[in-house]
A and B are shown apart, each in its own frame.
Chain A
């Protein structure tokens, strides 16, 4: 399947630090999306990056895509306690990985 695999599975940082999460996938894609899930809630779309894009920014989020390595990364800069959540990549076809659980300590 086209399931993404996130790494690390869990990440704990201090407020103000940057958080980087990685996603690897297996076959070619047209686009890749990142989602956030707060505890007990549904997923919320963060950003979509197309296969012909290498980097995309949205506020404090920066997503990169390397199609030759079949990998993507999500960088959250200057993290806040409110960023505490699980983050999932979805390399097309509505298939999600197991996610990275991020804890940002105040």
Chain B
């Protein structure tokens, strides 16, 4: 099994450009999450989805939108990228609710905004 797959792995954008980070999981998990990790920092939760059709804001949602397309896929969109959004983005999934089970992470998407 692939687990959690993120695309693209690397992306360079100019300020103001838009892009979508894709995430897919093949573990039939209900919950999915998007995090960002800045150098020397822990992970900060951007958005999460407890089940298909629902999304909720995390710690740092400003500047981002998400879509839970189906049970497998959860995308993160930057409508107008800013240099402050330069970061490594991680998608994760879990079988249970956000506070009940193990999170499985993708390998990250490294985004640079110039």
Residues of A within 8 A of B (CB): 1, 3, 30-31, 33, 35, 40-45, 48, 88, 90, 92-99
Point out which of A40, A42, A90 has the most chain B C-beta atoms below 10 A from its C-beta: A42
Can you list 13 A-B pairs, Cβ within 8 angstroms, ordered by A?
A: A30-B99, A31-B100, A33-B102, A42-B4, A43-B105, A44-B105, A45-B102, A45-B103, A92-B99, A94-B58, A94-B99, A95-B45, A96-B42
A98 touches B41 (CB 8 A): yes
User: Chain B contact residues (Cβ within 8 angstroms of A): what range?
Assistant: 20 to 34
State how many angstroms separate the Cβ of B84 from the closest Cβ of chain A: 18
| Distance, CA A33 to CA B92, complexed state (A) | 15
Main secondary structure of the interface of B (DSSP, over half): loop
B42 touches A97 (CB 8 A): yes
B43 touches A43 (CB 8 A): yes
A94 touches B48 (CB 8 A): yes
Residues of A within 8 A of B104 (CB): 45
Main secondary structure of the interface of A (DSSP, over half): loop
A42 touches B105 (CB 8 A): yes
B90 touches A43 (CB 8 A): yes
B107 touches A42 (CB 8 A): yes
State how many angstroms separate the Cβ of A65 from the closest Cβ of chain B: 15
A96 touches B102 (CB 8 A): no
In chain B, positions 36-52 with a C-beta closer than 8 Å to chain A are 40-45, 48
| Distance, CA A85 to CA B61, complexed state (A) | 28
The reply on B74 being an interface residue by CB < 8 A is: no
A95 touches B107 (CB 8 A): no
